[in-house]
Amino acid sequence: MLIDQRPPQQEAVRKPGRGFRIYMAISSTAILAAAIYTGLTFYSRRQENQALQEKAAEQRRADDQRALDMMGGNTFDILSFYVSPGHIRRGDAAQLCYGVSNAKTVSLDPKDANVYPALSNCETISPRKTTTYTLTATDAQGNNKTATLTLTVK
């Protein structure tokens, strides 16, 4: 018996043909184009979002400044001081309301209600006779402002 001394033949490795190479080139180009398009889309939307966020922040700052100005801004002042109703019968109650801006302390004379620095606060009072109230506000530098009102009791 004869032994075949030839090395075993390996299967031929097929090299990709021209069609396959063209297909791969087109596929790679399409993937690259899609990636570029997606990136540009996200980038442009990011810029739009950033512009919208900046505009919203600017609007909030303007709104905050308007609110601060309405509440007295950085000025020290008595914003309001009134009583409702302006006259009562003996034994009835009224609301003594006040508002101050940038005050460190607030006092009421006579001391018929507990007052403190507030932009808006109302306290219930029930005097037995016609009374004149004086609200005094003091700022951090020691400056004083006063307001006066009278509640008529019948």
CA dist list (Å): 112 to 79, 124, 136: 20, 9, 14
Q: What SS3 class is residue 38?
A: helix
29-48: pLDDT as tens digits? 888 888 888 888 888 888 88
Q: What average pLDDT does the segment 109-133 reach?
A: 94
The full set of domain ranges for the chain reads 17-70, 77-153
51-79: pLDDT as tens digits? 888 898 889 888 877 877 776 678 899 99
Cα distance between residue 81 and residue 149, in whole Å: 8
Per CATH, the number for 77-153 is: 2.60.40.10
pLDDT at 92 over 60: yes
Whole-structure pTM over 0.85, yes or no?
A: no
